[in-house]
Amino acid sequence: MTIMQRDWAAYCDMARVKLVTMVALDAQAQVEYDKVRVRMAAQLSPDWREPFDYRALSVGGHECATSPVGSCAYRDDLDARHDSCLYCGDPSERK
């Protein structure tokens, strides 16, 4: 094995480890995001006539004083454009 082949093999091993780490971190982030959405859906369910799936909730990036997690939330199934936060009523785009 030449030096170039050995360096390439080491680089590939390092890239493989980074990829596995990134996938694991992404999976953990998704789990945490789902926990937030489940908590918000449980809090909102009594306010709606029909129960809804927590996966229909999107958490926005804007601060929301009335939200339990401090960020605006939107129901994708009813408000795909995120025009009205479920808690404060503001749109996702602050104009």
9-68 residue pLDDT tens: 777 778 777 777 777 777 777 777 777 777 776 666 555 555 667 677 888 888 888 887
Helix then strand then coil, in percent of the chain rounded to 5, is 50, 15, 35
Tell me if 88 is assigned to some domain. Answer: no
- Asked whether residue 14 is domain-assigned, the answer is yes
pLDDT in tens, 55-88: 778 888 888 888 877 888 888 888 888 888 888 8
Tokens of 25: 């971190």
> How many C-beta neighbours within 10 Å does residue 36 have?
17
pTM of the predicted model as reported, rounded to 2 decimal places: 0.51
Instruction: Give the count of domains, the chain.
Output: 1
* Residues spanned by the domain of 56: 3-75
Q: Answer yes or no: is 82 within a domain.
A: no
CA distance 62 to 15: 35
